[in-house]
Amino acid sequence: MTHYTHTPSSSIGKVLFVEDDELFGQHMKNKLERAQVECEWFEAFEKAHAALKDGDYHAVVTDIYLQSDKPNGLQIVKLANDRGIPSVIITSRLDIAIAKQGLNNGADALLEKPFEVGALVKILLEVWENPRGMIGRRERFFEIRSLTDKEKEICRLIVKGLSNQEIADVCSTSLATVKFYTNQIFEKCEVHSRAELCSTIFPT
C-alpha cells in the first residue's frame, strides 16, 4: 500500500503527509485523524509529487529522504512553495545544510523525529495563522538582535549558504565590507561561526 486517506467529520485542515516508513506513517495518520486533521498519506515520492501537483491541500508535511539516500523530499517542499502551500520538514537526520536547503526551497518549519503529534499540530496551526514560518522566525530574530538593514541583507545571504565572496558579488561590494558586516552580525547574535548562527536562528 502506498496511499492512505481519511476525512474526519469536522477537520481543521487538509494535509499531504509524505513518509516512507510505513509504521511511522500509519501511526501519524491515525494520530492526525484523532486531532481532526484530514490526512492523505503517501509513501512514495513520485505519487506524493503527482498528488501535490493536482490536489488541494492546506499544508504539506514531508520527510526529506524518501526511499532514497538523496534529499528528494526537498522537491516536495519546493513544489509546495511554488503552489503557495505551507510545508513542514520532518526528519531524523537534520543538519544545518538541510535547514538551509529547506529554507531556500520555501519550508515553513522543521521538526526533528521523534516527536509527538501535538507538536506537529501546533506547528500546522501556527503556519496556517502565520504562513511566513521559517522566514518569519528569521526576520523576528533579526529584529530582536537589532540588526541594521544592511546586516539583515548580509545575514539572509549567510543563512542561504553563500560564501563571503558570493555575497560580495551579489551585493556589488568588497570582500572586506562583507567580512566587516559578518563580524558585526556574529557579535550582535553572540555566535562565532556560520553554523552556530544558523542553529541559533533555527533551533531544533
pLDDT at residue 29, rounded to an integer: 94
Sketch out the chain's domains with CATH numbers: 3-131 (3.40.50.2300), 136-201 (1.10.10.10)
Per-residue pLDDT tens listing for the chain (204 residues): 445 444 444 678 899 999 999 999 999 999 999 999 999 999 999 999 999 998 889 999 999 999 888 889 999 999 998 888 889 999 887 677 777 788 888 898 888 888 999 999 999 988 887 655 566 678 778 888 999 999 999 999 998 889 999 999 999 999 999 999 999 999 999 999 999 998 888 776
Q: Which three cell numbers stand for residue 76?
A: 516536495
Cβ count near 35 (within 10 Å): 17
Q: What local confidence, expressed as pLDDT, does residue 168 receive?
A: 95
Peptide bond into 114 cis (omega under 30): yes
Q: What is the pLDDT of residue 7?
A: 43
User: So what's the pLDDT on residue 1?
Assistant: 43
Distance in angstroms (rounded) separating the CA atoms of residues 108 and 126:
10
pLDDT of residue 189: 95
- pLDDT at residue 99, as a whole number: 74
Q: What pLDDT was estimated at residue 148?
A: 94
pLDDT at residue 8 in the model? 45
Q: What is the pLDDT of residue 15?
A: 95
| Alpha carbon distance 13, 58 (integer Å) | 6
Q: Could you write out the DSSP letters of every residue in 47-112?
A: HHHHHHHH---SEEEEES-SSSSS-THHHHHHHHHHTT--EEEEESS--HHHHHHHHHHT--EEEE
Between CA 49 and CA 55, with CA 50 as vertex, the angle to 5 degrees is 100
Residue 203, CB-side half-sphere exposure with 13 Å CA sphere: 2
